Chain A
């Protein structure tokens, strides 16, 4: 009996030793490891998004607002081990049970990674969820920095919008260290200056209990707000430009003649950037994508059009500078000219005898054909290049188009063909291969009237590019005076093609252009509407000491005289009314798309 009790004692001692070894193993050998796990048990890191920089217009009017939006997500692992009741949870967060189940099932299997259930909940929904959150451990409400574009459509192409990072963006060093699920600029200034506006997000280290409820905040690293940006845009002028383009397709660029500041840059049709803020829905996206007028295209910098007769300004400068014509040189226009083939003037019955001034004022093609017969295409191209055509202006916008200035080299390279003299006659009146963007034409206009300073157009005040002339164009004072005078006459002379731009308020100078889309032979009105000419108008004001240069293109608007010139006038008049002070128009309602 005692022997058996002794055996029992030895067995108990053995068992104690086994437990002690285990205890040693846990507390001494693996103690550090468990201490780490124990810490992780209690610490969670919550990202605090940095408020994005605000974008203002030149008069410090805020064009965007930061508006927090509330998302709700679920940490599956925190659902306290209970089986998920999709019906109850779905009803609670306002999701179809089937959809909820799909979202949770499809989510990545990374433990503790919250699965986003819904975005942009209303304040009352959030209040309701917060009140009963304890019944649903694992549900969390995230505050996400949202963005509101105060003026809706206005300046949408300039401001751009935010969106989720694409897979390739996430890999690029430009977006390194950004928290997951963050929204970044995906268009316009929001994209180009994303690193400036973004700021750096903060972190909140919190102690949580097993249910994931926050017990205390251990450490806060405050987010650093992104820098604000001040645009050169005047929102009142911008709105006026967009109003004058309403129902039309086209673009307007208005810039300061002396500095290159862009006061308005409009492209129609436009879009409402508010639709993109938290990921655009499929329906809206389809609507924008399927629109034949392509609202996402920024016509002011991406649209390439034949400059048409507006280019005659360059041709005239070239002719005067190269000594082909002078102030008193006259040619006779009888409606056409023969140079290998028949070249027609836009005015069937001809202009009669004209000098260079009248040729510009009445936009006579034959006069310029005569110049074209005598001018080398490479010389003409050189003048076009010096006025900034054929290459991007470098404005702070994405995917700016370069346009085309053809010459013999270009023709050989692109068309594998030598240059035909007849093609010079097309180029000299701005047709043929020539292509230019509205922003190029605005800059060209400024350079013509500011004494030859080719400026860098820019959108951000305080930008290092500000006011810097890219180059000085060397032309004689005489030539310059002839051209500026002629442009003033385009608007003010009785026979001037730009008389629709004539203003009571300020004296305006300009030049019309009409791009033939197809040569029209039949009178079918429907065909006519679809294939009507594009209208150009480049303008400056005031005549005596130019301050503002404007370029307007209206697609299928008909002649530049009738479609584009009144718009240029409206913007220039608005510029002078604004200088006297006027109210900013309230934003259109959200969701009102085009």
Chain B
């Protein structure tokens, strides 16, 4: 059943970096949740470890299935994703002011985490159906917008999950641009955007929730209220900055365990890492992520077919966006939107979804030479 060539073509670099980052994740979570204020070490790091094992299992199962099957059932999978999103809106569990969780008796998960992958599969299926050299015109763009973007975006905003919505938007734009837009479409959108944004800006602003507005204000001027809405940004910058060149050393960070930096083991895990490992450690982390992204793009270029190309491309874009937005956020360059750092942030569903995403790159990479197809 398993072709030797599949193993020969296995991209070990992606797999090893993925595992390296996962291990760093467990250690960083352990340090970030050190019980300096309580007596008991929280078991986040163990949970993360179990999720890594589960995700690894999923990874191995998924790479053994040829991605052509994904492409074949992409629309069906997409429909299931939409149904799950509707289910969340109707029956979801509330947590932290948002309704993102679906409770399935034995475990809870966030469907929007997986939906991003379903979304990439569906878009890839759609783009690969286009004729060679064809570029996307107005009618096609509107159709796609309606099916692949507006519908899910509305559902996700209902939760509300601004982070995922933004990722979907970036994915849609970047994949469409890569697939090729007609010149007149690009020009029209740029002009329309220049007119519409100032007009619609006020309306969009009013539509945002209070905390979302706060995050944007805080991003523009974190000093305006360092204890209130600018708190995350200011504390994160202090955390990263106090790391210096070589860092304070592992288990020597204080900002997280002393609770100055909230959500230190989830969205702000990079700050904790940068505090303890300094500029040198961060540089290494940047390199690892960049390598994965570069391998992703390379896989897309060398894929055996257009389905594989778009799938690898979409997943790579997703990882890149996640990384850039999350790190940009912790460095105070991007407004605080709830976006985790792939593979590093604590969170089972996100970890599983990231392993699944990388499994797709690996899947495409392994099967790039398949003469009998």
Contact = CB atoms under 8 A, between A and B. Distances in A.
Contacts of A208: 258
B297 A28 contact: no
B267 to A, nearest CB: 16
Interface residues on A, range: 35 or more
Nearest to A23: B282
B177 A27 contact: no
B278 A5 contact: no
A27 B243 contact: yes
A8 B238 contact: no
Interface residues of B, number: 47
A5 B301 contact: yes
A22 B331 CA distance: 7
Contacts of A41: 235, 238, 255, 258, 260
B240 interface: yes
B259 A23 contact: no
Contacts of B205: none
A34 B237 contact: yes
Interface in A208-227: 208-211, 213, 215
B290 interface: yes
| Main secondary structure on B side of the interface with A | helix
Contacts of A15: 320, 324
Contacts, number: 118
A207 B254 CA distance: 11
Contact of B178 (A1, A24, A111, A211): A1
Interface in B164-196: 174, 177-178, 180
Interface in A5-41: 5, 8-9, 12-13, 15-16, 18-20, 22-24, 26-28, 30-35, 37-38, 41
A2 to B, nearest CB: 5
A27 B282 contact: yes
Contacts of B238: 34, 37-38, 41
Contact of A215 (B258, B262, B293, B313): B258
B174 A211 contact: no
A370 interface: no
B333 interface: yes
Given A5-B300, A23-B331, A77 B37 contact: no
Interface of B: 36-37, 174, 177-178, 180, 227-228, 231, 235, 237-245, 254-255, 258-260, 262, 274, 278-279, 282-283, 286, 290, 293-294, 297, 300-301, 309, 313, 317, 320, 324, 327-328, 331-333
Contact of A28 (B254, B279, B286): B279
| Main secondary structure on A side of the interface with B | helix
A8 B317 contact: yes
Contacts of B245: 27-28, 31
Interface string A29-55: 011111101100110000000000000
Given A81-B231, A211-B259, A20 B283 contact: yes
A4 interface: yes
16 contacts: A5-B313, A9-B294, A12-B290, A15-B324, A19-B328, A22-B331, A23-B274, A27-B279, A31-B244, A32-B244, A34-B241, A37-B241, A38-B241, A207-B258, A210-B259, A213-B37
Contacts of B309: 1
A26 B327 contact: no
Shortest Cβ-Cβ A-B pairs, 3 listed: A34-B241, A38-B242, A31-B244
Given A4-B177, A5-B300, A26-B237, 16 more contacts: A1-B309, A2-B301, A5-B301, A12-B290, A16-B286, A19-B286, A19-B331, A23-B279, A26-B240, A30-B241, A38-B238, A38-B255, A41-B235, A209-B259, A210-B259, A215-B36
A37 B239 CA distance: 9
Nearest to B228: A81
B126 to A, nearest CB: 15
Given A27-B243, A27-B274, A35-B241, A19 B297 contact: no
B243 A20 contact: no
B178 A5 contact: yes
B325 to A, nearest CB: 10
A41 B236 CA distance: 12
A213 B341 CA distance: 30
Contacts of A211: 259
Contacts of A19: 286, 324, 327-328, 331, 333
A35 to B, nearest CB: 5
A276 B264 CA distance: 51
A201 to B, nearest CB: 27
Contacts of B177: 4
Nearest to A112: B227
A323 B301 CA distance: 134
A367 B249 CA distance: 101
A19 B330 CA distance: 10
A390 B228 CA distance: 68
Contacts of B243: 27, 31
A138 B279 CA distance: 35
Nearest to B333: A22
A12 B317 CA distance: 9
Given A19-B327, A27-B282, A30-B241, A38 B297 contact: no
